[in-house]
Amino acid sequence: MHTARFIIDPEFSIADVDRRLYGSFVEHMGRCVYTGIHDPEHPTADEAGFRGDVADLVRELGTGLVRYPGGNFVSGYHWEDGVGPLAERPRRLDLAWRSIETNQVGTNEFLGWAKGLGLEPMMAVNLGTRGIDAARALVEYCNHPGGTAWSDLRIKHGVADPHGVKLWCLGNEMDGPWQTGHKTATEYGRLAAEAGKAMRQVDPSIELVACGSSNSTMPTFGTWEREVLEQTYDEVDYLSLHAYYEELDGDRASFLASGAHMDRYISDVVSTADHVRAVRHAKKRIRLSFDEWNVWYAARFPGERNLETAETPRLIEDTYSVTDAVVVGSLLITLLRHADRVAVACLAQLVNVIAPIRTEPGGASWRQTIFHPFAQAARFATGRVLRTEINGSRIDTDRHGDVTALDAVVTHDETDGSLTVLAVNRAQDRPLKLEAALRGLPGGYRLEQHLVLTDDDHDAVNTEAEPNRVVPRPATGAHVTPDGVLEAELAPVSWNVIRLVRADSPRRPGPP
């Protein structure tokens, strides 16, 4: 067994947890919308056609924010197609995914669904094939009370009160040659700045997200961020990041260390944003919106141009394993560790398309393995993120170099004093002994629970036939020593949630 040590001290903190870190993403792609969240023929469907079983799982998942309607889809989308009487809405060819878009779900349907679930919407505007006028018109349609052409049209469509959407994406992945309306940094930065100005003239209270690079391997990465921010710095609040991870060539050690790449990626973008700030002598600090992230086996995807045109096709419906769940947990840990700069994050996507929730049309819904670390983090990792410096056993990887065997983050909820340790053992063949010294926490602490997600088969998955093959289970052996050290054993390739409460806290009846 190897060992990893760190200190838990509330005096060494990073930032409060922004609930928008636990965001997700609904794109008009594959079966995310149709037969995903929306399936009028399903036995649990409400009067608007949204699935009740999926709504229950979304509540359990704990996401607080959902980005919509894309993604690549938005760069060719006319939002006007998705409002008004359903029978009058056009069927369109979506160029992003070679699909037939029926427009039976659009702005009002999505925003009504989100409101019913208590989700904050994050809307994207089309800066690919459209621009300033369509963007400011959508803000007026969504947010203006009434008495203008676009707001009165919303009222005519049956929505009397404004939606009040506060968070807006200025396009999507505009640096990508695959994007409809792909632009250079100069072209995009100029358009985004002017669109943002016009949108804020409609509603000064909104927040804006500029497109960063589509991923850190883009040939223009770094230069794109600098040039875009040089033009948009005064108009935007956030810069986006996107990243997907997969196991390549059987290199599982590197895959399990994906969080190390995400960590460097975030630091590089922060450095670039702060360089622009310094050059401009600006007071404002740009925060980050990591609004697409997940495990995605992109090597299996044939590419957009090889797709057959269809209505509601099954696209990238990856089935996730224990190993994938552990990697997702490590990526959540990384996002929390950068809570001082990463304010928004969206697990892409919510249902069916590389998603924590899977469904069958008219039939079952179930939790994928990656559902569980996200739901547990959203539930338990609240309050303030504490700084952790991990010492101990390390693992050498081909892609990411030398990394700690333990990946961990700690949050402290000052309202009740509870501590949550999220921890991953990246080692494939050895358990890990965790030792965390508690300091600056008067009164003493005791273990409330230790939950672990692991399996002897690191490739085990959940399916419709066996939806609970992989679930978090209580672990044994963790404890706080008399001199205030948390000790726990972490299984190989495992995701762990360890909850500590004050020693004088009342014990909860029954199982944790």
Q: Is the peptide bond before 204 cis (omega within 30 degrees of 0)?
A: no
Active-site hit among 173, 225, 235, 247: 173
Question: Taking the CA of residue 148 as centre, how many other CA atoms within 13 Å lie in the half-sphere pointing to its CB?
Answer: 14
**In the annotation, is 109 catalytic?**
no
Angstrom distance (rounded) from CA 100 to CA 114: 24
Amino acid at 157: H
Phi, psi of 62, rounded to the nearest 5 degrees: 85, 10
**Is 27 in contact with 459 (CB distance < 8 Å)?**
no
- For 452-474, letters b (16+ CB in 10 Å) and e give bbbbeebebbbeeeeeeebebee
Task: State phi, psi for 495 to the nearest 5 degrees.
Answer: -110, 130
Exactly one of 109, 120, 292, 489 is catalytic; name it. 292
Q: Give the C-alpha separation, 44 to 53, whole Å.
A: 6
Whether 292 is catalytic is yes
| Residues 413, 339: Cα–Cα separation, whole Å | 15
Coil, helix or strand for 482?
A: coil
Contact of 17 with 336, CB cutoff 8 Å? yes
3-class SS of residue 16:
strand
Q: Is 420 helix (H, G, I), strand (E, B) or coil?
A: strand
- CA 103 to CA 89: how far, in whole Å? 6
Q: Which tokens go with 36?
A: 């995903």
CA angle 66, 93, 98 (to 5 degrees): 75
Is-contact 32 353, C-beta < 8 A?
yes
Burial class (CB in 10 A: 0-12, 13-18, 19+), 372: buried
The count of C-alpha atoms lying within 13 angstroms of the C-alpha of 331, restricted to the half-sphere facing its C-beta, is 31
CA distance 206 to 225: 22
- In the chain, the largest separation of any two C-alpha atoms, in whole Å, equals 71
Paired tokens of 343: 């304010």
The span from the CA of 298 to the CA of 332, in Å, is 20
CA distance 221 to 265: 10
Which residues contact residue 28 at a Cβ distance below 8 angstroms, ignoring those fewer than 6 apart? 69, 70, 71, 73, 77, 94, 99, 101, 105
Element (H, E) at 252: helix 252-256
For 192-271, list the strands marked E by DSSP. 207-210, 238-245
Nearest to 405 by CA among 490, 342, 482: 490
Residues identified as active-site: 173, 292
